[in-house]
Amino acid sequence: MRFGNLHYLWLLFIIPALVGFYIYAFGKKKKALSLFAHSDILEKLLVWVSLPRQYFKAGLLCVAILFIILSLIEPKWGYKWQEVKRKGIDIIIALDVSRSMLAQDIKPSRLERAKIEIGDFLNHLKGDRIGLLVFAGTSFMQCPLTLDYGAFKLFLDQVDTTVISRGGTDIGKAILCAKDSFLEGENKYKIIIFITDGEDLQGKAVEIAKDAKKQGIKIFTVGLGSNEGAPIPVFDENGNKSYVRDKDGNMVLSKLDETTLQKIALYTGGAYIKGNTAQGLGLEKIYNEKIATLDKRELKSTMQKRYENRFQIPLSIAIILIIVEFFFTEKKKVRTNEL
């Protein structure tokens, strides 16, 4: 036997509470009657009243409530096999892991905020495959396209700025790597979501994005950082913080390059969103307003057990018990010679 909604189990405390109340009420009633009149007189006054019948009515009500609670937790037994078709879209999250993503103009840092938002984004997926690509001066698939969101989360947790040793930011190469990760021969169902500060140091991303559009790939871009720029922190072995400086000793500021990201999104039919600490990165908005409305292809078809919900049985028993309790009288039949 299985149960569909165990959240209502806490209601079971009502049963011992109700039993305790009846014990207290019957005891209080008995004490009050003893103070009202002598036992011999009470026996004649209450000749029509049956205490066993009163106890029985109270028991019926307690059992009825128990069965109502059982119906709420939805007992299930017996099952049938049902084919479940899973439809969705292939989505690759391309996450910038260059050192500029350590800037803290978005708290706790650009990279950590992105990881938090991507983790939350998984809760909104509806049968879509998702993959994780990390990039800096080069790119690789940290997690191939998968329906296993738990495995994806494990790969995401391992991401930091050390996973790629080659510095810089090459968005164009990341687009090429993502493009090769999609299934060939299909010119739709392909989405790339770039999360980066947009500093494309190679300068070829827009041209490569135009070519990706020909293969039906839509690219959505999320820009992290401020237009004014923020220093890039570095930490030594003892955890002491300093900042990246150029050869002249001046502090290097990492600025958000919105123009490049806007062009990439525009040329591929996607959209650009500027992320911030207060309102998040907008991944949920991208999915609900742009991705969820797209055509989906069948990704997986499986046979699953569908257990039959039997809440009607305890609910029917509870209704019958309540009806019996309502019509069951606590008066007993008395022969005239007993009066």
pTM of the model as a whole = 0.63
Give one DSSP letter per residue of 253-305, joined into a string.
EE---HHHHHHHHHHHT--EEE-BTTTB--HHHHIIIIITTS--EEEEEEEEE
In the predicted structure, residue 44 carries a pLDDT above the cut 70 = no
Mean pLDDT for the chain overall? 84
pLDDT digits 0-9 by tens, 173-209: 999 999 988 876 666 779 999 999 877 666 688 889 9
CB neighbours (10 Å) of residue 135? 28
The tens digit of pLDDT for each residue in 86-97 reads 677 899 999 999
Place of tokens 């908005």: 285
Question: Domain ranges in the chain?
Answer: 2-74+311-338, 85-300
Which three-class secondary structure state does DSSP give residue 309? strand
Q: What is the pLDDT of residue 114?
A: 93
* CATH number 3.40.50.410 is the correct assignment for the domain at 85-300: yes
**CA distance linking residue 23 with residue 17, whole number of Å:** 10
* CB-count burial class (<10 Å; 0-12, 13-18, 19+) for 110: buried
